[in-house]
Amino acid sequence: MERYLLLAVNMLRGIGPRTIRKVYEAFGSLERARRDPQRLRRVVGPSKAEMILRADPEAGRREMERAEAMGVRVMAFTDEEFPERLGIFEYLPVVLYYRGDPSILKSKTVAVVGTRYPSDDAKVMARAIGREVAKRGGVVVSGGAYGVDTHAHVGALEEGKTVVVLGSGFARPYPKENRSLFSKVADGSGLVVSEFPLDTPPLQGNFPARNRVISALSDAVVVVQAPAKSGALITASWALEQGKDVWAVPFSPLDRRAYGSNRLLYDGAKPLYDIGHFLDEILGEAPSEPSVPREALDELEASVLEALREPLHLDEIAYRTGIPLSRLYSVLLSLQMKGYVREMPGKVFKAVL
């Protein structure tokens, strides 16, 4: 009865996690609160108390049965398995719908977020960060949206596990074109979660709440590329409030898609100039591995590596190879991903022997 009642109250518009937590702190359960209407009104106010008193547990039962029929499980903040990361702040959800394995949240987690319309280099970077975090045993957390989110999830799936945090209910997954990705995550020992009731559409107001959860579930947040008004910046601000490290990938100041993420760097975010350095700091240094053959190089990559007989500044590499800067960024990024090159501070690159 209490569980159905909690689901029913959680489905009410105008009743949020703060109110529900306040009721539990005062009464221990919603059922006990409903037995003392006068005190309930004093605790949460007349209008919210009336909504709680009128909540129908049958609505919660129907929601639970629908979830089970869809292969979706439900856990509450009173359950032992509820993620500890979501119990720290009163504004975080009290009910979590999920598919997959919630135990992966006990691993080191890194949020990778950014614009829905990234540059080609940002797509490569998001995928590379996702892949390398997973390869080190970490778990990538993101929002399942187009652009940076999708590339981060796909990269993580190449080597390990990822968590998708939806901004809608499971019956209305957004974007719908990513449904196959969400299923692949949930069915592959990853995790898809939502704080929203099943039929919740992807309303604009849902996404700041989703971004809070992304941040709360993560040990650090990486903003790959974000314009001035990007939801990724909301995730970063929540991360700072929650005491998490925020990293940003530097991009050209001429690219408006990176204005917000570059501004984060100006405001004190850590620069992610080298994936290996970032991983060492967040996940710890990688154990030494036996030597394995590295990937073959194309003609441009080979010419850049030939030039890097000594550490060189980006402009010097462009001068020696004749490769335009607009193309050189992608070549250097590819060489970093293949393990041939490492970036140092000041846009200096060196070959890795």
What pLDDT digit, counting tens, does each position of 72-120 carry? 999 999 999 999 999 878 889 999 999 999 999 999 999 999 999 999 9
Q: How confident is the model at residue 329 (pLDDT cuts 50, 70, 90)?
A: confident
Q: Tokens 């990007």 belong to which residue? A: 230
Domains detected in the chain? 1-60 (1.10.150), 102-283 (3.40.50.450), 299-351 (1.10.10.10)
Average of per-residue pLDDT across 164-171: 98
More confident residue, 285 or 174: 174
Q: Taking the CB of residue 253, how many other CB atoms lie within 10 A of it?
A: 10
Q: Taking the CB of residue 159, how many other CB atoms lie within 10 A of it?
A: 17
**Backbone angle region of 201, left / alpha / beta, with phi > 0 → left and psi within -120 to 50 → alpha:** beta
Asked which of 43-47, 213-217, 252-256, 284-288 is least confident by mean pLDDT, the reply is 284-288
Q: Tell me the pLDDT of the chain averaged across its residues.
A: 92
Question: Under 8 Å CB-to-CB from 9, ≥6 apart: which residues?
Answer: 15, 20, 30, 51, 52, 55, 60
- What local confidence, expressed as pLDDT, does residue 138 receive? 96
Average of per-residue pLDDT across 187-205: 95
Cα separation values, 126 from 32, 146, 261, 334, 337, Å: 48, 12, 14, 13, 12
- What local confidence, expressed as pLDDT, does residue 285 receive? 61
Q: Tokens 């489905």 belong to which residue? A: 11
More confident residue, 337 or 8: 8
Strand, coil or helix: 158:
helix
State pTM to two decimals: 0.82
The pLDDT tens digits of the residues spanning 258-290 come to 999 999 999 999 999 888 889 999 987 655 444
